[in-house]
Structure 1
């Protein structure tokens, strides 16, 4: 992950939404660990809020394109979908997997 690029996108989003000013954004730098931002000119409470958002931003970006996040244990809806996944009279591992993922995605949408 390119942390500098992510930092730029995250802070630009905050500026675009009026959460911080461009000047405040310019004062923020990545900590050596890349898991936090630091500023010598902003209040610690503002930096804490920005860092809470930064952590959420990074977690959201941790799922690569084309992948989905699913629970460790299948939900009831996923199990029902797997039980009813017969397509053209066939039950295959692919059909079961696809049905369970679709059930989870629709649960995430609601």
Structure 2
């Protein structure tokens, strides 16, 4: 994506003086359409990668709590919940750090919309 797209974009941008005749304009239009579709495909792939890499799971302890007031007094329940919390804290911190470090790819309103 990052290798071919700049080359294709540069080859489709022809100066006005070197403009091809009307008969070959369809080739330039096809090339321009291809570049646009390639950009769209790259954007979709980036979005899919973000969705896949952004997935993380928090393990839930296998507890049945009918009354929270009673569960607070049960040492085993409290220990299991504290252990789960100790596992969750670094996972949540890492996910937040990753999300806060992300920057939009490109400039302009469309890049911002794609980012969010």
TM-score by length of 2: 0.31
Q: Which has the higher contact order (CA 8 A, sep 6+)?
A: 2
Q: Which has the larger radius of gyration?
A: 2
